[in-house]
A = this chain, B = another copy of it.
Amino acid sequence: MTTGNDKILLAHGSGGQLSHELVERLFLRYFDNPILAHLDDSAVLEVGGGMQEARGKKQEAGFLHPASRILHPAPDARLAFTTDSYVVSPIFFPGGDIGKLAVCGTINDLAMSGATPLYLSAGFIIEEGLELAALERVVASMAATAQAAGVQIVAGDTKVVDRGKADRLFINTAGVGVVPAGVELGGDRAQPGDAIILSGTIGDHGMTIMSQREGLRFDSPLASDCAPLHGLVAAVMEVTPQAVHCLRDPTRGGLATTLNEVADKSRVGIEIEEDTIPVRDAVRAACELLGLDPLYVANEGKLVAFVAPEAADAVLTRMQAHEYGREAAIIGRVTAEHAGRVVLRTALGARRILDMLVGEQLPRIC
């Protein structure tokens, strides 16, 4: 493996260019299987098919015992399975905390595959000396978020490392959901003509964390948009499951990176209109102050939907009726031209190519 450097850099965790290189040159090369190769937010597993396969493989190894022959899940039962670790700093911030973020983030990864989230696991890596009260506050927040979202935290693990070997608290969540029959979403399914619908303002989460760290104050306070999106996804899918081709939540790397991923995987072009993209004034002000582009700033409660043009207005209306989609907007469309590239039309009519995030804008954003 060569990434032009022999050590891990912060940018390897940015969600941008170096992260993609690491995934492709290391993880995909070794963990070589078609499910992982999809690189969607969740792995979608055919449990029926999986069982068949496991049966074939294990029989050779003498694994299969008679009882397992009784098991025959319906062939259309598919599981979604996903994981994320959270290392956000600080662990408490306006609009959320590391626990709420971990629960919402995993719910959202499941929801982006069209799955109904059902069960979560939670793994805690704790630095010796963390105040029990802080841990309790995080755990209570996870429990409340999970309960409100209708998911259960059913498995957990705690490790403690000596002082100075971690930073207060890291949390990993993994999640399992069920993908309804007939639902087929994927980063490789966007089609020329699709409308691109963004569910609301961008940059809120990232600029909140950055402002906390930099000690910035604004007239209208910033807050993370951290929220569970499975209800919004369900509302959208209710309108027209077949017309929705792809859902993504633009987290690390921001909207620009997410759009680049879809343009690349679907081998299509993407054109978006700058002045249709909702950005809060406080976020815009913070971005200007720090020299950042909101298109590259992380979100934790937003999604982008790629929808067949004839269904776009109905999906938009339904999104706007949902509490997490009130400021939804159609921000662009998918084209057959310039496949693999994302083009931004500025308010003044100029066109510029939007690349994937390069380097690291803000470590430990999530």
A residues adjacent to B (C-beta < 8 A): 1, 3, 5-14, 19, 22-23, 26-27, 30-33, 35-36, 42-43, 45, 47, 50-51, 54, 57-58, 61-68, 70-74, 76-77, 79, 81-87, 89, 116, 118-119, 121-133, 135-136, 139-140, 142-143, 146, 150, 152-162, 164-167, 170, 172, 174, 176, 178, 180-183, 230-231, 234-235, 237-238, 241, 363-364
Which chain B residues border A84 with CB–CB below 8 Å? Answer: 123, 157
Kindly state the separation between the CA atoms of A363 and B128 in the bound complex, as whole angstroms. Answer: 11
Q: A71-B74, A82-B121 are in contact. List 18 more A-B contacts (CB 8 A).
A: A8-B129, A30-B136, A31-B139, A35-B154, A47-B79, A50-B118, A51-B118, A58-B116, A65-B238, A66-B238, A70-B182, A81-B121, A81-B176, A83-B155, A123-B172, A160-B363, A161-B364, A176-B176
- Chain B residue with the shortest CB-CB distance to A2: B132
Please name all residues of chain B whose beta carbon is closer than 8 Å to the beta carbon of A26 when the two chains form the complex: 132, 135-136, 139
Q: Are A234 and B64 in contact (CB under 8 A)?
A: yes
A121 / chain B contacts, CB cutoff of 8 Å: 43, 81-83, 174
Specify which of B50, B57, B68, B136 is in contact with A119 (CB 8 Å cutoff).
B50
The answer on a CB contact under 8 Å between A180 and B31 is no
Residues of chain B lying within 8 A (CB to CB) of residue A50: 118-119, 178
CB distance from A85 to the nearest CB of B (A): 4
- Classify the secondary structure of A's interface with B: mixed
Q: Find out whether the CB atom of A85 lies under 8 angstroms from the CB atom of B172.
A: yes
Taking CB atoms, residues of chain B closer than 8 Å to A81 are: 119, 121, 154-155, 174, 176
Q: Which of A1, A8, A47, A183 has the most CB of B within 10 A?
A: A8
Task: Please pick, from B8, B11, B65, B161, the residue contacting A87 in the complex, using a CB distance under 8 A.
Answer: B161
Contact check, B116 vs A54: say whether CB atoms are below 8 A apart: yes
Cβ contact within 8 Å between B68 and A30: no
Alpha-carbon distance A14/B158, docked complex (angstroms): 9
- Docked complex Cα distance between A82 and B155 (Å): 6
Q: With A and B bound together, what is the CA distance between A224 and B181 in angstroms?
A: 45
Instruction: Check B237–A67 contact: CB distance below 8 A.
Output: yes
